[in-house]
Amino acid sequence: MTLFSKAALGGAFMLLAWNGTATAQTALNIGCTATTDCASAAVALEEGIFKKNGLEVTMTLIGINSNIPAALLSNSIQIGGPTPSVFLQAVDGGLDLVAVAGASSTSKATFDTAGVVATEASGIKEPKDFVGKKVGAPGIGAFLQVLFSKWLIDNGVDPKSVNFVEVTFPTMNDTLKSGAVDAVVTAEPMMSRIIASKTGAPAGYFLETLPERRPQILYASTREWADANADALKAFRSSIDEAAKIVNENPQKGRTAISSFTKIPMDVLSNMKLSVADPKLETEQLDWWVATMDEQNMLQSKPDTSALIQK
């Protein structure tokens, strides 16, 4: 064998080997918002768990959670992390999405990561004080506002009697300070900063009375993608299972991964509780969300939750 043919053979082998790895890796783009709820995906990416399971994963930071269904449908992302309310409203609106795994869920350990903070001048101390007041929320009809409204209903206050306005997280402290709103529905890491700067004081932790293990963020895809990529989905789920354990047992790794995904500085994340990673998703959990949203007239139809979780 001449040197030339040896080189050619070697080259061919290398090409084959390279091709082999390229086909074994399924490319996957995951879209999440800048919260700690997608920590399991961020950890699986950061720790190379996706790669180990044959997935070539990239993560895209999505500005507004309600953009996720459209991003899924246009195949810009294959898996996204919508809140259950965004997910159910998209399904209710006719988009064929399925939940493929759980990302995070409520827990007694993390109820104080979200709450409503009111100024002293507003005189708000308990649920009935919110009547007629102006309350800033990061999104009307979004996760926090829905759960805050549920808290009001459970305490005998009609959320319609509260004047809601949208205020983005980073401007909450300034908006509250200026007196433009009486209270803000907020979450960490903003909440503790607002309280520390004495702009307002906590007036209610509306996650406290919720049952355990209600999903906060779930991983979803289009039904078409989930059906066509059963193997990739299996690899995704086992990666998330493995990563979720790391997030819950070793939050520092979760923080590092979240920081590299969202660019939130480590000094902000370091004294912040991460949402509990909970990869299991059951029909009953979605049913609870459907009931909660029905109570606030947010759904047109009654979604068949058993068909909404990919087998």
Partner 1 sequence: MKRAWWKGLVVPAALIVLAELAMRVQGSTSMSLAAPSDIVAAFFAILFDGSLLLATRDTLVSAGIGLAAGGFIGLALGILFGLVKPLDRLMEVTIEAIRPIPSVAILPIAMLVFGFGYRMEIAIVAFSCLWPVMIMTRSAMAGIEPRLLEVSRALRLSTWDRVHKIVLPAALPRIMVAFRLAASIALVVAVTVEIAANPLGLGYGILVAQQALQPAVMLAYLVWIGIVGYLLNAALSLMQQRLFGRAGRVEAAS
- For the segment 133-192, give every residue that binds partner 1 (CB under 8 A): 168-174, 189-190
Number of residues that bind partner 1 (CB under 8 A): 32
Q: Please name which of 164, 151, 162, 154 lies closest in space to residue 129, comparing C-alpha atoms.
A: 162
Q: For the chain, where are the alpha helices, taking DSSP H only? A: 3-24, 39-46, 49-52, 68-73, 84-92, 143-154, 172-178, 190-196, 223-228, 230-249, 251-262, 266-269, 283-295
Per DSSP bridges, beta strands 163-166 and 134-137 are parallel
Distances (CA, A) of 282 to 55, 135, 222, 309, 310: 25, 33, 18, 8, 10
Nearest approach, Cβ of 190 to partner 1 (angstroms)?
Answer: 7
Please state the closest distance from residue 87 (CB atom) to partner 1, in A.
17
| 193 in contact with partner 1 (CB under 8 A) | yes
Give the one residue of 3, 4, 263, 297 binding partner 1; rule: CB under 8 A.
263
The least CB distance from residue 172 to partner 1, in Å, is: 8
Nearer to partner 1, 197 or 270 (CB): 197
Rounded to the nearest whole angstrom, what is the least distance from the CB of residue 88 to partner 1 in the complex? 18
Asked if 105 and 278 touch (Cβ cutoff 8 Å), the reply is yes
> CB–CB of 135/117 below 8 Å?
no
Residue 63 as a binder of partner 1 (CB under 8 A): the answer is yes
| 32 contacts 79 by C-beta, under 8 angstroms | no
Instruction: Determine, following the binding rule CB under 8 A, whether residue 211 of this chain makes contact with partner 1.
Output: no
Rule CB under 8 A: say whether 61 interacts with partner 1.
Answer: yes
Binding partner 1 (rule: CB under 8 A), the pick from 73, 153, 201, 272 is 73
Residue 184: CB minimum distance to partner 1, A: 12
CB 203 within 8 A of CB 183: yes
Find the angle CA(289)-CA(149)-CA(93) to the nearest 5 degrees. 45
* H/E element, 215: strand 215-222
> Does residue number 74 form part of the binding site for partner 1 (CB under 8 A)?
yes
Residue from 56, 71, 133, 283 in contact with partner 1 (CB under 8 A): 71
Which residue from 25, 51, 76, 195 is in contact with partner 1, where contact means CB under 8 A?
76
Report the interface residues with partner 1, using CB under 8 A: 33-34, 60-64, 67, 70-71, 73-77, 168-174, 189-190, 193, 196-197, 262-265, 268
